[in-house]
Each structure stands twice: as C-alpha cells, then as structure tokens.
Chain A
Amino acid sequence: VQLVESGGGLVQPGRSLRLSCAASGFTFSSYDIHWVRQAPGKGLEWVALISYDGTNRYYADSVKGRFTISRDNAKNSLYLQMSSLRAEDTAVYCCARRGSSYDMDVWGQGTTVTVSS
C-alpha cells in the first residue's frame, strides 16, 4: 500500500502548479483521499478531500477558490491543481488515504512546493 506524490517545485507568486499522487497496492477507486500540507516548522494543515468516485470535494477555507482536487481512478491517481499561489502556500504537500473512520490511515512522503519570486 503506497502513495507517492510528485510535481512540487519552485514557483512564483500568482502562478499555478499541479501536484500528482500515484496510488498502488490497494483499490484506489474505493477510497476517499485527502491532501494535507505542512509549512516549514509548522503543524499539519488539512487542505482538501475528494470522495472515492470524485463526486464530492471539500476544501479548507485557506485554499477554497484557488485549489482544485481531482482524481482519475483509471490511472490510480489524485491531483491538486493550485492557482494564484501565495508565499504562505509554501509547504510539503502529502496525499493521505481516508481510513475506515474519519482518519487518515496511509500517507505519502510528500512533495515540496516553494512559492517565491
């Protein structure tokens, strides 16, 4: 069971970036998946959740209207399209599988996004 993120990098404020999360070892299409981020030296921050079939999407207020979570179950992949990026979006972004309850039971290692001019 594994989640592997990619797509991070250095981006200028106001620009866009798309992150990916590749799943393996489980039936991806059966699970809701989260994006969670951690700014340098800070705690974890929940970013977004997408339901197993993609029909329901939820966002933290801090990213609502700027970020879009999506998935392609045929490719076992999750995405986070980030636009109008700000310095405060600088963080390690992890995808995490929603467990049997309201928890996160499998985590990826994360991909680093740095927003700076």
Chain B
Amino acid sequence: QTVVTQEPSFSVSPGGTVTLTCGLTSGSVSTNYYPSWYQQTPGQAPRTLIYSTNTRSSGVPDRFSGSILGNKAALTITGAQADDESDYHCVLYMGSGIWVFGGGTKLTVL
C-alpha cells in the first residue's frame, strides 16, 4: 500500500525560507496527483493554502508557493513569520475517487 510521506517536523528562522515536501513510498508525485496543502493550528479547522500543485487559494499570501521538486510535491514559505508556526498537511488524489493525506509536518518558527 502506497503511503504519502511528509517530514514530521521542520524549523525555520523568522524571515527565512523553508520547503516542506510530500512524497510517495512508491513512485513519484506528479501534477496528476493534484497535490494540495493545508495549514492547521491547534483546535482549528484546516485552511486551504495551495491546490492543483501550485494554485494559491483565495487570500493566501504569495510567500506561500507550491511546486513539484524532483519526485515530490513541495510547499515553500518565503519570509517566514511567527504565525506560520502550524501543522501543514498535504493530500494527493490517487485516482478512482480516493484521496490520501500525508502524516503532516509540524513547522516551528524560531
């Protein structure tokens, strides 16, 4: 069974740039998986950041960007701010009406 992988945790300095990734235990992520990214703070519902690999959701600042890097989907945050400290989740569309989330990445800004 294919598993979607994410870094369990990551840290970035204020003002810095960080790239979080979303991969597969078997195979490569491509745009055909329509990767999307969600930000979640404790006790809150997820907020959509990026969909279809690189399309920003309405109201999302342009310092959040999505791409394919090598064989993974990637979420890059440039100019990290304190309130970017959150959990970040990716989800891939596997086809045949099935979606699979990664385990999420806990981002610390310090």
Contact = CB atoms under 8 A, between A and B. Distances in A.
Contacts of A109: 44-45
Q: Give chain B's interface secondary structure class.
A: strand
Contact of B45 (A56, A99, A101, A110): A110
Interface string A95-117: 01001111111011110000000
B12 to A, nearest CB: 20
Contacts of A104: 36, 38, 46, 48, 91
Interface stretch (B68-76, B77-85, B93-101): B93-101
Interface string A47-89: 0010000001010110000000000000000000000000000
Contact of A43 (B51, B55, B103): B103
A61 B99 CA distance: 11
Give the top 9 A-B pairs by smallest Cβ distance, nearest first: A58-B97, A103-B51, A43-B104, A102-B34, A102-B93, A103-B36, A107-B45, A46-B99, A101-B52
Interface of B: 1, 6, 34, 36, 38, 40, 44-48, 51-52, 55, 57, 87, 89, 91, 93, 96-104
